[in-house]
A and B are shown apart, each in its own frame.
Chain A
Amino acid sequence: MDALVSLFRDSWHWAAGTSFGVALVISVLFIVAFISVWAMFGVWLERKASADFQVRLGPMEVGPHGLLQSLADGLKLAFKEDLVPKDADRFLFVFAPAVAFCGAFAAFVAIPFSPAFNVVDVDLGVFFVIAITAIGVIGVLMAGWSSNNKWSLYGAMREAAQLVSYEIPSALALMIPVLVTGSLGLRSIVEFQCMPSDGDLKAASLVYLSPNGWLALYSPWTLVAFIVYYVASLAECKRAPFDLPEAESELVAGFHTEYSGLRFSFFFLEEYGMMFVVSAVATAVFLGGWQPLPWLSINFATLGFVGHLLAVGVFLAKTIFLVWVQIWMRWTLPRLRVDQVMVMGYKYLIPITLVALTMMACYVAYGIRYVPGIG
């Protein structure tokens, strides 16, 4: 087990040094398996949560409390006929789901699940995640364009416009923690949040005080950044109330109208993968990653393998909670109009984040955390 831990901890060096191919295969299989299981669980969660909000029961038949319903649906999708419309651009049409899936898929590489479980600790983690998740929109655009269907094209254009608009506030909002911590690495941002006062993580006792606390509670401006990032991330992963790209009542199914079977399921995986990625980034950057409480941290490394599993559990619990809040919002808020989405992005979120960023820069420069003059 310790070997496994060290394998994940040092996978990057290990990969570079010894056998890059083997490391690549293991990492890819790990992520693919994780995303598949997550997507099945996420769909089940969505259906159960929506049922709860609507005073229904949701899936109950397949497996205990319908847990295996997603598996049955996935099997059904896999056996569906694979259709390509006659007038579609065949190459792009076939290629688009893979491209769309790439963004969400690659972002998993950088997510720090625990002090040890992390495929690669990318030094530019935040930057990497922002950049790589934006690849997905290319796949969506390809899908919409190649389908040769007006609904698909409308959906794809909306998605592009929406993503381009909301990348700005979400990236700006992520810059605020970067400003505070002085690092772009996701793991070092988490470590900043659980840093003991003497600054020595390795020597910390099992339970210790960490004066920095979670970044969402670090300062008023980081809280603003958290909220803005969360709202913008809803738009980035096409969740309600920003689900314009696949607005059922307007665009049939948006950019994936013409897709069926496995290709459609790739878009599905992409959507649920993105939900997980944005929530995981929010967890790592703003909510203390694998630490269960703010200001009071646990040194999971002293617990060995069990500690790492616990850390992963805490991280997943927080992430799933954020996903659940996304679902909660979806079943609460009606869909915005196109112009409202644009107004919200450009007129509100971006100025708010810019103000917050400027203020945070001043705070950092003068060593203030909460209120000027007090500390």
Chain B
Amino acid sequence: MITYVRNIVDTVRTTVKGMQVTWKNLRRPETTVQYPREECVIPKGYRGFHTLDQEACILCFQCAKICPVECIEMEADRVEKKFLSWKQFSIDYNKCLFCDLCVEVCPKDCIHMDRRSSTARYAMVTDDRSTLNLDLLTFVGLSDAEQKTVDKIVSDRAAGIVTPPAKPAAPATGAAPAAGAAAAKPTPPAAAPPAAAPAAPAAPAAKPPAPPPAAGPTPPAAT
């Protein structure tokens, strides 16, 4: 009889207790969002698509070297020892394992994969794998400001204003200065064509306006 009464009491008590638990959950705000229209707040430390601060990058290749799956492809030229003429910085997300090593190794803290990345692309959903090879460059070649600076250096030099020269490093072939309008952003020295087809191989970099006739392709670096 005691067990009988205790069973009844237990039933009522546990039912009430359980319903209190669900009641508490009822009063909590929803944790889900209407996904395609709203996005979750990305927690700190989330690893997603990379972003690259192109201004800060010094092209040290550390990230590409440390990458365990070799998914980073980068290519750029130094112009006037000061500027980077970007040709490629792409990450193949078919390979990337989001290990964060490239971020940690970067000496200039210019590559990130945390929530500074655009949240709009955190889903990483595609029906075409080729779209997962992402180009991180927002601009290629030289920016307008850089182009102006380079132009000024070049024109100054032509006018005889000599900036303190550093040691000329490029093993230039010393082609004739008249050989076409030499590109202000010359192709890598190894690939430098013998003056014949001048601007053609500077691959995707049709951005800056046509540079003025320049001095030779052996630019003494401006500090």
CA distance A57 to B22 in the complex (A): 15
* Residue among A57, A329, A332 with the highest chain B CB neighbour number at 10 A: A332
Mark interface residues in B109-129 (1 if CB within 8 Å of A CB, else 0). Answer: 000000000000000000000
A60-B34, A348-B7, A348-B8 known; A53 vs B19 contact (CB < 8 Å): no
CA distance A348 to B33 in the complex (A): 45
* Any A CB within 8 A of the CB of B223: no
* Any A CB within 8 A of the CB of B25: yes
Contact, CB under 8 Å: A57 / B30: yes
- How many interface residues does chain A have, given as a range? 10 to 19
Contact, CB under 8 Å: B30 / A56: yes
* Any A CB within 8 A of the CB of B130: no
* Any A CB within 8 A of the CB of B28: yes
CA distance A55 to B22 in the complex (A): 10
A328-B19, A332-B18, A333-B15 known; A54 vs B25 contact (CB < 8 Å): yes
Q: B31 contacts which chain A residues (CB < 8 A)? A: 55-56
Contact, CB under 8 Å: B22 / A53: yes
Contact, CB under 8 Å: B26 / A52: yes
CA distance A328 to B18 in the complex (A): 10
Please give me the residue from chain B that is nearest to A54 by CB atom: B25
Mark interface residues in B1-42 (1 if CB within 8 Å of A CB, else 0). Answer: 000000110010001001101110110111111100000000
* Any B CB within 8 A of the CB of A331: yes
Mark interface residues in A106-143 (1 if CB within 8 Å of B CB, else 0). Answer: 00000000000000000000000000000000000000
Please give me the residue from chain B that is nearest to A60 by CB atom: B34
Please give me the residue from chain B that is nearest to A56 by CB atom: B32
Q: A52 contacts which chain B residues (CB < 8 A)? A: 25-26
Please give me the residue from chain B that is nearest to A52 by CB atom: B26
Chain A proximity of B153: nearest CB distance (Å)? 60
Contact, CB under 8 Å: A57 / B32: yes
Contact, CB under 8 Å: B22 / A332: yes
Q: B11 contacts which chain A residues (CB < 8 A)? A: 348
Q: Which residues in window 305-357 of A have CB below 8 A to B?
A: 328-329, 331-333, 348, 352
Chain A proximity of B24: nearest CB distance (Å)? 10
Q: B23 contacts which chain A residues (CB < 8 A)? A: 328
Q: Which residues in window 53-78 of B have CB below 8 A to A?
A: none
CA distance A329 to B8 in the complex (A): 17
A328-B19, A333-B18, A348-B8 known; A53 vs B34 contact (CB < 8 Å): no
Contact, CB under 8 Å: A329 / B19: yes
Contact, CB under 8 Å: B32 / A53: no
CA distance A191 to B31 in the complex (A): 46
Mark interface residues in A35-64 (1 if CB within 8 Å of B CB, else 0). Answer: 000000000000000011111110010000
Partner of B21, one of A55, A332, A352: A332
Contact, CB under 8 Å: B34 / A331: no
Q: A55 contacts which chain B residues (CB < 8 A)? A: 25, 28-32
Please give me the residue from chain B that is nearest to A331 by CB atom: B22
Chain B proximity of A62: nearest CB distance (Å)? 13
CA distance A242 to B8 in the complex (A): 17
CA distance A189 to B187 in the complex (A): 97
Contact, CB under 8 Å: A332 / B7: no
CA distance A153 to B65 in the complex (A): 67
Chain B proximity of A54: nearest CB distance (Å)? 7
Please give me the residue from chain A that is nearest to B19 by CB atom: A332
Please give me the residue from chain A that is nearest to B21 by CB atom: A332
Given A52-B26, A53-B26, A332-B22: 4 more A-B contacts, CB < 8 Å: A55-B29, A329-B15, A332-B18, A332-B21
Could you jot down 22 A-B contacts, CB within 8 Å? A52-B26, A53-B25, A53-B26, A55-B25, A55-B28, A55-B29, A55-B31, A56-B31, A57-B30, A57-B33, A57-B34, A60-B34, A328-B19, A329-B15, A329-B19, A331-B22, A332-B18, A332-B22, A348-B7, A348-B8, A348-B11, A352-B8
